[in-house]
């Protein structure tokens, strides 16, 4: 039995009661949190315990990146609107992808994520066997899904997704899961959406889909199907508590009702939406309707950072700026979107520090100008720094599923230098292989 004892830390549990200990101890046994104690409460130290001194560090749940794509070509063709970008960059790259390139691209992506505090990624991409291997190797919690589209688009099929599920779901102590992924509705048919739902139900797994990301997508669906994207998803049974709907920037009032009625959680990805010129999602209306909204970075090809601290800040600032209202999206609520809400959306026992929950924990260094001044007895002050002042470099240690995957900002299970070299070589090779075919969907 392996135990980790994290002592002397500021414990920001983000549980329902908002429990905070200015100085305390968290004990992890195997993959679970077994004890959380404030100062003065003794715990039994045992021989063989791995002790982490968390003096000056915040001990908090890891961040959950609810909409994610492994990325291979960050910063390449960086100026295009979504439609053009997909045709000229994203699809050609992922069509040229091979298993080895996918493995190194995933490791590079997961490296950036772990180093900026994410402990879970909800990753829609291709070559899932490679992604699962990368997740297993680095130690991150990964929910994987394919880029499924109708056959003429030369992406993945439901059979690919089924095979990936059979090969990988439940691997690594359940740390790796596989869902059914639908790329987006312009590349699908109503029949494909119904089959995707049936397959998800058969496998007792969830769905991951892009919905209402851009105005172009809505216009295209109206033209092709006579319906808006979320209307079609609703009618074909795609929505539900087990479906993560990504983006949802262009939702009508009726579509917001459909999301609420079906209990569909939404991943809000403000940085990607801003960079691609897609607009600002109606998050206050979603929350008012009772929808569970989490946060995602999307992909570094359209962000260009996987840093969830940046995503939290954008999520708040864009709403405040566009609605001229500084009371919107307060730090304490945004932090829960990136932790509690993401975990709930995925049905995971993570996203908060509570006894019995899975041990996905990060330690944040506060002995720096970024966290100065800090009222250690005032958690709301700490929360403000986490959302508005920080960036991913404040994360010192990451524990995922009870394993220390980063300590002192050094990854413990993989060689970061090798990952950087191999991911660079993979991009060069795939870029030289890619073929740009214009406007398959338009
Ligand atoms: Zn996406």
Please work out, in degrees rounded to the nearest 5, the angle formed at the alpha carbon of residue 287 by the alpha carbons of 220 and 338: 95
How far does residue 24's CA lie from ligand 1's centre (Å)?
Answer: 39
How many whole angstroms from 373 Cα to the centroid of ligand 1? 37
User: For residue 421, what are the contacts with CB-CB under 8 A and spacing of at least 6?
Assistant: none
Whole-angstrom distance between the N-terminal and C-terminal Cα of the chain?
A: 56
According to DSSP, the β-strands at 63-68 and 118-124 are parallel
pLDDT of residue 37: 94
CA of 432 to the centre of ligand 1 (A): 24
Helices H / strands E in the chain, number of each: 16, 17
For residue 18, how far is its CA from the centre of ligand 1 (angstroms)? Answer: 32
Q: How far apart are CA 95 and CA 106, in angstroms?
A: 16
Distance from residue 311's CA to the centre of ligand 1 (Å):
14
97 CA distance to ligand 1 middle (Å): 17
Q: Report how far ligand 1's centroid is from the alpha carbon of 198 (Å).
A: 23
Distance 208 CA to ligand 1 centre (A): 10
How far apart are alpha carbons 243 and 180 in whole angstroms? 9
**Interval between CA 171 and ligand 1 midpoint (Å):** 24
Q: What is the pLDDT of residue 132?
A: 98
Q: What is the Å distance from ligand 1's center to 120 Cα?
A: 16
pLDDT of amino acid 78: 78
pLDDT for res 399: 98
Q: Give the whole-angstrom CA distance, residue 123 versus residue 299.
A: 9
The pTM of the full predicted model, rounded to 2 decimals, is 0.97
Ligand 1 centroid–CA 366 distance in Å is 32
CA of 32 to the centre of ligand 1 (A): 31
Tokens of 160: 């690919």
CA–centroid distance, residue 269 to ligand 1 (Å): 9
CA of 43 from ligand 1 middle (Å) equals 45
Ligand 1 center–CA 66 separation, angstroms = 10
Quick one: which of 84, 76, 142, 86 has its CA closest to 109?
Answer: 142
**Structure tokens, 408:** 């002192």
| Mean pLDDT in order along the chain per 10 residues (442 residues) | 93 98 97 94 86 98 98 85 84 93 98 98 98 98 98 96 98 98 96 98 98 97 98 98 98 98 98 95 98 97 94 98 98 98 98 98 98 97 98 98 98 98 96 76 40
**Which runs of consecutive H residues, i.e. helices, occur in 98-189?**
99-115, 128-138, 158-168
Distance from the CA of 347 to the center of ligand 1, in angstroms?
20
For residue 379, the CA-to-ligand 1 centroid distance in Å is 33
Cα(31)–Cα(125) distance, integer angstroms: 27
Contact 214, 302 (CB under 8 A): no
**What does the pLDDT read at residue 152?**
95
Q: How many A from CA of 211 to the centre of ligand 1?
A: 9
CA 207 to chain centre: 14
How many angstroms separate the alpha carbon of residue 377 from the centre of ligand 1?
Answer: 39
Cα separation of 64 and 340, whole Å?
8
Cβ-based neighbours of 282, under 8 Å, separated by 6 or more: 251, 256
Per-residue model confidence (pLDDT) at position 441: 43
Both tokens of residue 347? 């049905």
Q: Where are the alpha helices (DSSP H) in 241-281?
A: 253-262, 270-275
């Amino acid at each position: 039995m392996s135990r980790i004892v994290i002592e002397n830390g500021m414990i920001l549990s983000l549980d329902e009661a908002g429990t905070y200990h200015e100085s305390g101890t968290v004990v992890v046994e195997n993959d679970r949190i077994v004890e959380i104690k404030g100062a003065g409460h003794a715990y039994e130290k045992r021989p063989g315990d791995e002790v982490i001194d968390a003096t000056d560090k915040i001990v908090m749940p890891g961040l959950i990146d609810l909409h994610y794509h492994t990325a291979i070509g960050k910063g390449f063709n960086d100026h295009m609107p979504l439609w053009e970008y997909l045709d000229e960059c994203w699809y050609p790259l992922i069509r040229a992808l091979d298993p080895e390139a996918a493995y190194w691209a995933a490791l590079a992506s997961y490296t950036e994520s772990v180093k900026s505090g994410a402990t879970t990624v909800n990753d829609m991409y291709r070559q899932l066997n490679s992604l699962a291997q990368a997740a297993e190797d680095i130690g991150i919690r990964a929910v994987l899904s394919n880029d499924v589209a109708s056959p003429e688009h030369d992406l993945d099929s439901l059979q690919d997704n089924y095979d990936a599920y059979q090969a990988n779901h439940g691997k690594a102590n359940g740390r790796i899961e596989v869902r059914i992924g639908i790329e987006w509705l312009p590349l699908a048919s109503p029949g494909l959406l119904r089959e995707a739902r049936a397959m998800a139900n058969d496998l007792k797994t969830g769905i991951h889909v892009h919905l209402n990301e851009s105005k172009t997508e809505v216009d295209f669906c109206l033209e092709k199907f006579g319906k808006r994207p979320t209307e079609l998803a609703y009618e074909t049974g795609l929505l539900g508590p087990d479906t993560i709907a990504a983006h949802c920037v262009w939702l009508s009032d009726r579509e917001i009702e459909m999301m609420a009625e079906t209990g569909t959680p939404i991943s809000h990805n403000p940085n990607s939406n801003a960079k691609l010129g897609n607009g600002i999602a109606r998050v206050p209306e979603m929350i008012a309707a009772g929808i569970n909204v989490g946060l995602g970075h999307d992909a570094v090809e359209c962000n260009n950072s996987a840093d969830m601290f940046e995503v939290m800040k954008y999520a708040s600032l864009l709403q405040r700026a566009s609605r001229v209202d500084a009371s919107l999206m307060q730090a304490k609520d945004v932090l829960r979107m990136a932790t509690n809400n993401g975990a709930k959306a995925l049905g995971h026992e993570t996203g908060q520090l509570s006894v019995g929950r899975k041990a996905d924990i990060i330690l944040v260094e506060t002995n720096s100008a970024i966290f100065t001044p800090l009222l250690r007895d005032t958690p709301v002050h700490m929360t403000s720094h986490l959302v508005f002042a920080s960036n991913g470099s404040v994360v010192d240690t990451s524990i995922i599923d009870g394993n220390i995957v980063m300590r002192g900002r050094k990854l413990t299970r993989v060689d970061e230098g090798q990952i950087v070299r191999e991911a660079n070589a993979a991009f060069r090779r795939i870029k030289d292989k890619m073929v740009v075919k214009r406007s398959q969907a338009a």
